[in-house]
Chain A
């Protein structure tokens, strides 16, 4: 990499995001697999539970949220695993730039790679699951505010387990309980909108959680990475 000791913070963040995006588009599985998981898993619910539209509209927001949450959790592997194996994670930790912002840049690029495609397709699947139109906007707003939180929390879990050889299910046990508030408020926004109640308060709460996650989770990610790289 470049000699980045003299680079400004902004250009380092931009360079990190560019590197991550470039890597993702050279191995497109990182982009496509979470999306395909999302599409296939959502499809399983009508097949397993029945295609009755009254039933589907009742579970639509829950299905989309839970599937998004699982897709993000499974995608976390690509955030640190390759970097850990080829040693660039150590370089990241030794970089003279503030680790806090480097980690935020990495999580942001992961969100662009793994979550944004899901967010774009989510309304389509909401309609396929017979969700009333009034629920679509709160669903998207909730996903926009909530998925970065899920990425940040997932990054903590991934940073804790990246040094272990097989971490898939352990990661699920660690971080799914932490995902519960986002799920509750995300689906709550949709049900509030469908009952024609205001949902902006819930969106504000979600935003508050996002701010909290942005402030605190890079610290936990950094501490966890230092343990794993050791």
Chain B
């Protein structure tokens, strides 16, 4: 187990290992997403209160969950980079930021679209919406900080520190926004995830889509990390061998 972990720390081994896992992961993701989305969007019965509208939850809920998970993941890899100086950890953390920001944006956008038919408004300053918006700001800050540095190494370390500061702050922000919301608006009970009322044919596709989206996230993360590896190791022998090999292959084809 430990050996495997250390091997993934080497950019070259990360590249060759993921080469083997990626096709499997992609097929599993396609099957999960295809089944889940087709089932959820076309075949599950409409909700007795929200009608067809609730189907957006199949996209919205996994995105909103992943948005938070991605931040935690970024912070873990940042810590890994700061503590053990694992280069791949920083490359993964770097890949997390734009993916996390777009997932958060999709969660907000789908939430907004869902808000119109169900709540009658695009946006309310609800605690969950507000803290998701703030999380988007945190992601944007990390991306902006990284792009401001010329030196890859300083940028990496600065972003790692900022991610860790953010992860300490995130619960405080979440708590403060929850509290703020209950003070300023009467507690409007907007809980939409009343799982008890949902029959299995509603939540099983959600389960499929959830894992499918997770797979999609991992694929995007791995691809981005691989690009970053190639970019940073472009002077290494194995990368030029790889490029030559690819050129030969396409030459034969």
Contact = CB atoms under 8 A, between A and B. Distances in A.
A202 to B, nearest CB: 9
B168 interface: yes
Given A174-B144, A181-B172, A184-B176, A164 B149 contact: yes
Interface residues of A, number: 27
A163 B82 CA distance: 19
Contact of A227 (B134, B138, B157, B169): B157
Contact of B137 (A167, A177, A181, A191): A177
B158 A173 contact: no
Contacts of B158: 160, 224, 227-228
A101 interface: no
A174 B173 contact: no
B168 A177 contact: no
Contact of B141 (A163, A177, A224): A177
Interface stretch (B106-114, B177-185, B238-246): B177-185
Contacts of B173: 177-178, 180-181
Q: How large is the interface on B (under 10, 10 to 19, 20 to 34, 35 or more residues)?
A: 20 to 34
A113 interface: no
Chain B residues touching A, majority SS:
helix
Nearest to A223: B161
Contacts of A192: 183
Contacts of B144: 170, 173-174
Interface of A: 156, 160-161, 163-164, 167, 170, 173-174, 176-178, 180-181, 184-185, 188, 191-192, 209, 216, 220, 223-224, 227-228, 230
Given A180-B134, A181-B176, A230-B154, 20 more contacts: A156-B161, A156-B165, A160-B145, A160-B162, A161-B148, A164-B148, A164-B149, A167-B148, A173-B140, A174-B145, A177-B138, A177-B173, A178-B166, A180-B173, A192-B183, A220-B164, A223-B161, A224-B161, A228-B154, A228-B158
9 smallest CB-CB distances across A and B, nearest first, come from A181-B176, A177-B137, A184-B176, A184-B180, A174-B141, A227-B157, A173-B141, A181-B172, A160-B158
